[in-house]
Chain A
């Protein structure tokens, strides 16, 4: 049993071929720019979209005065179960308990697409490896059903967790968000020493590796920030498939307010294509294949 935020089928950006991406809930990092903030906390939580409230009064904390004004009850009065009786989309639960078999029941429906395209299933997050047993269960079922498995991870945990998936993984996708340890800690809440050590160990898994860096305005959107990451990868990841620079994704903005959180990057915008190409060029000078996503 695990907590799943979402299962996204026909996923084209999380590895080779056509994939299904299973987003698990819970992450030890708190990246300031995270575009999936609803996946950070380990437990299911409520997302509230007041503009969708129709004032039906079905939720527990129903308040007639607020309902007449087209507003749902205050967040503090809502319970998780309210999401089950709200059909307008004003109150939604982020995260639900699922068994690995239930996850499999969903993703196995696209087997023909995985087979035809060389795709498979990517377990992501949040941080996928925050639920290591659940990931193992899912990937075991994938393996048993001939579906190639992959994991998308921040590598901030003892490497043994990933090693336990040996034989179940066809691909590892890992992030190096910032190369400088202090800056990494500043922007994500944790240092990167263990992450970089784990990157070096990835070769032991003997599977292709994709390293990704989300390029965030004002954080790591410079040649000085990207080039050392590329050099490190060139020196440390012999089984690299490619290094991918992901442009800042602003689409998570509304989720922050739905969770009752401030969005520190509310005004940030994606980099112009030319800037991304410039950074990719700088990364390529380390002699590794680079893509812009």
Chain B
């Protein structure tokens, strides 16, 4: 961890832009340090910096075990170990910044790897989970949205009072409330230690602007140990404290509707004459720097008004000042401020950092209402995750944690058809596949029910409970009855792999008669070995494809998605709803490793398709419209997403008219039912150079799937995935 105190001469320029430029440079240094000390990671940046050397090893010695197996579980185990960690957590003081904290470690990394609570055994689920290569999400943490207004309104002191108020009306839940109190005490303890670090920095800093900033930081930190934020600066700072603590606890990354969350503070500061516009942008930028959580900007109010304000522009401007990894989503609807959408696209192309993303209000709202929720609620379900939406503070979802490997389901079905001795046909294969899909989804839902029954005893959501509506009020963890709504996410994966496989068999074997079933089976068994194998593979992969534009494969994809959706929604019951989506996250590689060669010409153990996207090479002209139409048509339609992932050349926005064409493309796909659009603006040459020596490109950000990551932080395998996609797009 680098010393950032008194590193600049007392006369160095230090307006807000200067300070952000300095912070940005330091962020790049931190990223390089992190790569060096922690190695590559295939996930969001998280704003984490490398801790002082030996910190994790030292803390691992001091863990508290409450189980004979040496690990810890439940309220007691998690709260005590969180307290111990935070009590020793290093402060991070940068005199340019507004908050003396950064995330530096994950509690989970200190935990001995003993798996789920042994007393809750799910061996009975494993055969089906293993057969279908299900990612069951048992033990998954966070991945739902919280309501920051609770914390911003109450502060830590107010939250403690709230806990005691509800403790009194919920006797018998002391273990829960004690754990929540200890969680808050842990964070307060960390803040107190940070004060000492700020005091030390004040003895050394000589730049007058930074001395003044450190004094303000000290005053606001001391106040916020108990008090609720009184200004925009304090609101941003409070969110930094919460986020860094929550990240440390279990990696939480959900933000909120950022423009509406912070605008009241700015307007109050303005009315009091105590803030400038640049100052406000700087504070927001500092918050985004501390942690690139997922935030939404814009959208519709419950009475149908556009939510975009001048402050929404300021959020984008703050992200532009930062010009780094960021996870801001702009919600697109038909009546939105078109200039705002254009501004968003301009920032996307200007910074080439993968932000903002774009979500489709119509499809998301209508879809969520299909679950039985009113429009007033549906419009509040905001983009706060990798590919997911959540009602802030109201629902528990395990979004993005549960995946069915539909390509593996297809392989199981194909195997059964080959074994049962009857003549093979595409129609029979579909029937068998449909039945296995039903079984696979059923086994997945069983896993979720198991998780909901036991997770609170295994790994409770102590920080996130605090900012949710229900857990404190009921004395129950959000995973175990504390949430208002349970909308459990089940994502399918491999839709293109499966649709292309059905279409290829239909075209080459049954319609054209160019291949026999036996020749296909032989080629699959040998993984397309030899010249004939390669010929068969090329013929199969050259069949009509998903994303080709109303092709038979597009029709297969729609059929697969409809059936999958029916299977998922059929699991509803006992107060639970199950919500289908199509998203692989970064699991395309491991999910692919579980599947042998497939009739779409995909070789064994290679990645399945990415999210809802077609396999690369889906169409000779690579027409985004054809691909987008295909993805829009397979949306399950219940408020979760099947994102469109694009890689675009920076030259596509070469002038104003070109930018407007991209804006219109976005508007058009949203009209067609798109739920989420992620775009990489990347030039192929730079990616190739960066791939040779990633460390030379510490600021190169790519959107890997729903998440953005520093290219240099990805493993070689993941970099290759990005490289291939981008090169094909180019």
B371 to chain A, nearest CB (A): 26
Q: Chain A CB within 10 Å — which of B624, B655, B658 has the most?
A: B624
Closest to B549 in A: A109
**Residues in chain B near residue A105, CB distance under 8 A:** 550
**Residues in chain B near residue A58, CB distance under 8 A:** 535
**Residues in chain B near residue A118, CB distance under 8 A:** 664
**Residues in chain B near residue A17, CB distance under 8 A:** 661, 664
Q: Does A201 contact B (CB under 8 A)?
A: no
Knowing A87-B542, A112-B668 are in contact, say whether A9-B531 is a contact too (CB < 8 A): no
B626 contacts A9, C-beta separation under 8 Å: yes
**Residues in chain B near residue A16, CB distance under 8 A:** 657
B683 to chain A, nearest CB (A): 16
B106 to chain A, nearest CB (A): 42
B668 contacts A116, C-beta separation under 8 Å: yes
A188 to chain B, nearest CB (A): 27
Knowing A18-B668, A87-B538 are in contact, say whether A10-B625 is a contact too (CB < 8 A): yes
Knowing A87-B535, A112-B671 are in contact, say whether A9-B652 is a contact too (CB < 8 A): no
Q: Does B629 contact A (CB under 8 A)?
A: yes
Q: Does B71 contact A (CB under 8 A)?
A: no
Q: Chain A CB within 10 Å — which of B531, B538, B664 has the most?
A: B664
B621 contacts A9, C-beta separation under 8 Å: yes
Can you list, as one digit per residue, whether each of B388-403 has a CB less than 8 Å from chain A (1) or not (0)? Answer: 0000000000000000
B535 contacts A10, C-beta separation under 8 Å: no
B664 contacts A18, C-beta separation under 8 Å: yes
Q: Does A56 contact B (CB under 8 A)?
A: yes
Q: How far is the CA of A87 from the CA of B664 in the complex (A)?
A: 36
B665 contacts A117, C-beta separation under 8 Å: yes
User: Within the complex, which residue of B539, B549, B620, B665 is in contact with A18, where a contact is CB–CB below 8 Å?
Assistant: B665
Q: Does A8 contact B (CB under 8 A)?
A: yes
Q: How far is the CA of A116 from the CA of B672 in the complex (A)?
A: 11
User: Within the complex, which residue of B534, B549, B652, B664 is in contact with A116, where a contact is CB–CB below 8 Å?
Assistant: B664
User: Within the complex, which residue of B531, B538, B623 is in contact with A8, where a contact is CB–CB below 8 Å?
Assistant: B623
Q: Does A282 contact B (CB under 8 A)?
A: no
Q: Does B667 contact A (CB under 8 A)?
A: yes
Q: Does A55 contact B (CB under 8 A)?
A: yes
A18 contacts B661, C-beta separation under 8 Å: yes
User: Within the complex, which residue of A12, A54, A291 is in contact with B531, where a contact is CB–CB below 8 Å?
Assistant: A54
A79 to chain B, nearest CB (A): 18
Knowing A9-B549, A58-B535 are in contact, say whether A113-B623 is a contact too (CB < 8 A): no
A109 contacts B625, C-beta separation under 8 Å: yes
User: Within the complex, which residue of A8, A54, A110, A116 is in contact with B671, where a contact is CB–CB below 8 Å?
Assistant: A116
A71 to chain B, nearest CB (A): 14
User: Within the complex, which residue of B535, B549, B658 is in contact with A106, where a contact is CB–CB below 8 Å?
Assistant: B549
A116 contacts B625, C-beta separation under 8 Å: no
Residues 659-674 of B at the A interface (beta carbon under 8 Å)? 660-661, 664-665, 667-668, 671-672
**Residues in chain A near residue B510, CB distance under 8 A:** none
A117 contacts B671, C-beta separation under 8 Å: no
Q: Does B431 contact A (CB under 8 A)?
A: no
Q: Does B532 contact A (CB under 8 A)?
A: yes
Residues 41-73 of A at the B interface (beta carbon under 8 Å)? 54-56, 58
Q: How far is the CA of A286 from the CA of B665 in the complex (A)?
A: 35
Can you list, as one digit per residue, whether each of A109-153 has a CB less than 8 Å from chain B (1) or not (0)? Answer: 110110111110000000000000000000000000000000000
Q: How far is the CA of A6 from the CA of B531 in the complex (A)?
A: 30
**Residues in chain B near residue A56, CB distance under 8 A:** 531-532, 534-535
B668 contacts A12, C-beta separation under 8 Å: no
A254 to chain B, nearest CB (A): 15
**Residues in chain A near residue B668, CB distance under 8 A:** 18, 112-113, 115-117
B664 contacts A10, C-beta separation under 8 Å: no
Closest to A55 in B: B531
B348 to chain A, nearest CB (A): 16
Q: How far is the CA of A84 from the CA of B624 in the complex (A)?
A: 26
Q: Does A181 contact B (CB under 8 A)?
A: no
Q: Does A257 contact B (CB under 8 A)?
A: no
B655 to chain A, nearest CB (A): 8
**Residues in chain A near residue B538, CB distance under 8 A:** 54, 87-88
User: Within the complex, which residue of B621, B658, B671 is in contact with A6, where a contact is CB–CB below 8 Å?
Assistant: B621
A81 to chain B, nearest CB (A): 14
Q: How far is the CA of A8 from the CA of B625 in the complex (A)?
A: 10
Q: How far is the CA of A54 from the CA of B535 in the complex (A)?
A: 8
Residues 240-298 of B at the A interface (beta carbon under 8 Å)? none
A10 contacts B623, C-beta separation under 8 Å: yes
Closest to A110 in B: B625
Q: How far is the CA of A7 from the CA of B661 in the complex (A)?
A: 19
B661 contacts A9, C-beta separation under 8 Å: no
A59 to chain B, nearest CB (A): 11
Closest to A117 in B: B664
Q: How far is the CA of A181 from the CA of B246 in the complex (A)?
A: 74
B554 to chain A, nearest CB (A): 10
Q: How far is the CA of A105 from the CA of B548 in the complex (A)?
A: 13
Residues 76-110 of A at the B interface (beta carbon under 8 Å)? 87-88, 105-106, 109-110
B723 to chain A, nearest CB (A): 21
**Residues in chain A near residue B532, CB distance under 8 A:** 56
Q: How far is the CA of A119 from the CA of B672 in the complex (A)?
A: 17
A194 to chain B, nearest CB (A): 32
Q: How far is the CA of A116 from the CA of B531 in the complex (A)?
A: 48
A87 contacts B539, C-beta separation under 8 Å: yes
**Residues in chain A near residue B542, CB distance under 8 A:** 87
**Residues in chain A near residue B621, CB distance under 8 A:** 6-10
B661 contacts A117, C-beta separation under 8 Å: yes
Q: How far is the CA of A243 from the CA of B539 in the complex (A)?
A: 45
User: Within the complex, which residue of B531, B535, B664 is in contact with A113, where a contact is CB–CB below 8 Å?
Assistant: B664
User: Within the complex, which residue of B541, B629, B657, B661 is in contact with A109, where a contact is CB–CB below 8 Å?
Assistant: B629
**Residues in chain A near residue B626, CB distance under 8 A:** 9-10, 109-110
**Residues in chain A near residue B672, CB distance under 8 A:** 112
B652 contacts A113, C-beta separation under 8 Å: no
Q: How far is the CA of A112 from the CA of B658 in the complex (A)?
A: 18
B566 to chain A, nearest CB (A): 26
Q: How far is the CA of A258 from the CA of B657 in the complex (A)?
A: 35
Q: How far is the CA of A56 from the CA of B538 in the complex (A)?
A: 11
**Residues in chain B near residue A119, CB distance under 8 A:** 661, 664
B607 to chain A, nearest CB (A): 22
A-B pairs with beta carbons under 8 Å apart, 10 shown: A9-B549, A9-B621, A9-B626, A10-B623, A87-B542, A88-B538, A113-B664, A117-B664, A117-B668, A291-B655
Beyond A9-B625, A17-B664, A54-B531, 7 additional contacts (C-beta under 8 Å) are A10-B624, A12-B658, A18-B664, A56-B532, A56-B535, A109-B625, A113-B668
The 7 closest A-B pairs by CB, nearest first: A117-B664, A9-B623, A87-B538, A116-B668, A56-B535, A10-B625, A87-B539
**A interface residue numbers (CB < 8 A to B):** 6-10, 12, 16-18, 54-56, 58, 87-88, 105-106, 109-110, 112-113, 115-119, 291
